[in-house]
Amino acid sequence: EGMIASTKREQSLVELKESDLVFVGYGVNAPEYNWNDYQGLDVKGKTVVILVNDPGFENPESGKFQGKTMTYYGRWSYKYEEASRQGAEAAIIVHETEPASYGWSVVANSWSGAQYGLVSKNGNADRVAVEGWLTLESAQKVFADAGLDFTAEKELAKAGPYSKALNSKASVTVKNSFKTSESYNVIASLPGADSPDEHVIFTAHWDHLGKDETKEGDQIYNGAHDNTTGVAAALVMAKAYANLNIKPQRSTTFLIVTAEEQGLLGSKYYSEHPIIPLNKTVANINMDAMSVLGKTKDVAVIGMGKSELETYLAKAAKRQNRYLVEEGHPEAGYYYRSDHFSFAKQGVPALYAKGGEVPIDEATAQYRKRTNVIVRGCYHQVCDQFRESWDLSGIEEDAQLLFEVGYELVSSEDWPNWAETSEFQRQK
**3-class secondary structure, 355:** strand
Contact status, residue 71 vs residue 56, Cβ threshold 8 Å = yes
Q: What is the pLDDT of residue 1?
A: 66
**How far apart are alpha carbons 35 and 65 in whole angstroms?**
9
Using CA atoms, how far apart are residues 424 and 381, in angstroms rounded to an integer? 33
Q: 3-state DSSP call for residue 285? A: strand
Domain ranges of the chain: 3-175, 186-410
What pTM was computed for the model? 0.82
Helix pair 393-410, 309-319: axis angle to 10 deg: 130
What's residue 428's pLDDT? 65
Domain 3-175 adopts which CATH fold?
Answer: Glucose Oxidase; domain 1 (3.50.30)
CA distances from residue 370 to 353, 367, 387, 389 in whole angstroms, order as listed: 23, 5, 13, 11
Q: Give the model's pLDDT for residue 354.
A: 97
pLDDT of the residue at 116: 74
For residue 408, what is the enclosing H or E element?
helix 393-410
The pLDDT tens digits along the chain (428 residues) read 689 888 888 888 888 888 899 999 999 999 888 999 999 999 999 999 999 999 999 988 888 888 888 888 999 989 999 999 999 999 999 999 999 988 998 898 877 777 778 887 788 888 898 999 999 999 999 999 999 999 999 999 999 999 999 988 888 888 877 778 899 999 999 999 999 999 999 999 999 989 988 899 999 999 999 999 999 999 999 999 999 999 999 999 999 999 998 889 999 999 999 999 999 999 999 999 999 999 999 999 999 999 999 999 999 999 999 999 999 888 888 899 999 999 999 999 999 999 999 999 999 999 999 999 999 999 999 999 999 999 999 999 999 999 999 999 999 999 999 988 787 889 86
Residues 6+ apart with CB under 8 A from 277: none
Nearest CA-CA partner of 355 in 308, 415, 313, 309: 313
For position 125, what pLDDT does the model report? 85
Q: What is the pLDDT of residue 372?
A: 94
Class at the top of the CATH hierarchy for domain 186-410: alpha beta
Q: What is the pLDDT of residue 25?
A: 97
